[in-house]
Amino acid sequence: MALNHLNLTVKIHPVVLFQIVDAYERRNADSHRVIGTLLGSSDKGIVEVTNCFCVPHKEYADQVEAELSYAMDVYDLNRRVNSSENIVGWWATGNEVTNHSSVIHEYYSRECNNPVHVTLDTSLQGSRMGLKAYVCVSLGVPSGKQGCMFTPIPVEISCYDPEVYGLQLCSKTMSTGAARGRNVQPMLDIAQVSEAGSKMSVLLEQVLTYVEDVLANRVPADNAVGRSLLDLVNSVPHMSNEQFSEMFNSNVKDLLMVVTLSQLLKTQLQLNEKLTLLTSV
């Protein structure tokens, strides 16, 4: 049994999950499961999935048919846009590995080394969208019948800063109400700084309340939380109030300068567009 790829960890970006759910919602009426290709990179035991696409297929009782030529055409087109994204595995909707999974996995084993298999439970069993990742481990004895077994591996969500901001905007649509059509406009940079400061103040109040309760023996101490708080305190640069105020004001001035220049540029483009329309008339 091969164990050299059981130490892999899969990191999936939120855009991949949105693409999988979108493909599931757009599936044919007679399709119960949707599959596709995972794109990303693999380095030092970390498989980072940054993109994906759907592969049309049909499953029968004794066989599975997939449009592999379509999958390769889409992959070639994606390589023209982003050459750093390679095939790292495949995905499927559902909460389990099916009988046809080994056949599909065999194809992806020819396209990349140690492909990963990711399942996303779009049926919402247990009132949550379960996310799992697997690798296929070969089983058997030399010169004997060979088989394979899907073994779970760790999987986690990884986000770039723009993705975090996008997720925050999406979460705000949950409280907008149907009257506004669940639409949320991006905030200005200054408004984002103000909102972040307010959230930071609330979190600091929660931390102070917890520390005071522990010191007063109202709640039991948690060593893990204590170590995290110590790391947080040590990560803060040692500076006086005057130094911090100077640094903060300097950064705010830089931000205001960027906002002003962007507004001037936008005004100039709008004026130029109107002048172009007048001259064309």
**pTM greater than 0.75 (yes/no):** no
Bigger pLDDT: 166 vs 102: 102
pLDDT of amino acid 234: 84
CA dist 273 and 261 (Å) reads 18
Residue type, 258: V
**Residue 102: pLDDT band with limits 50, 70, 90:** confident
pLDDT tens string 112-133: 888 999 999 988 877 778 899 9
Task: Look at residues 150, 158, 84 and name the one whose alpha carbon lies nearest to residue 117.
Answer: 150
Q: Is it the case that residue 188 has pLDDT exceeding 80?
A: no
Query: Span 252-279, mean pLDDT?
Result: 85
CA dist 30 and 56 (Å) reads 12
pLDDT tens string 138-168: 776 666 666 678 889 999 998 887 788 777 7
Which domains, ranges and CATH numbers included, belong to the chain? 9-161 (3.40.140.10)
Token pair for residue 16?
């991949």
Q: Is it the case that residue 2 has pLDDT exceeding 80?
A: no
Query: Span 9-31, mean pLDDT?
Result: 89
SS3 sequence of the chain: CCCCCCCCEEEECHHHHHHHHHHHHCCCCCCCCCEEEEEEEEECCEEEEEEEEEECEEECCCCEEECHHHHHHHHHHHHHHCCCCEEEEEEEECCCCCCCHHHHHHHHHHHCCCCEEEEECCCCHHHCCCEEEEEEEEECCCCCCCEEEEEEECEEECCCHHHHHHHHHHHHHHHCCHHHCCCCCCCCHHHHHHHHHHHHHHHHHHHHHHHHHHHCCCCCCCHHHHHHHHHHHHHCCCCCHHHHHHHHHHHHHHHHHHHHHHHHHHHHHHHHHHHHHHHHC
pLDDT tens string 33-46: 899 999 999 888 89
pLDDT of amino acid 19: 92
Task: Look at residues 189, 135, 142, 177 and name the one whose alpha carbon lies nearest to residue 3.
Answer: 135
23-32, 87-96, 154-163, 166-175: range with highest mean pLDDT: 87-96
pLDDT of amino acid 49: 94
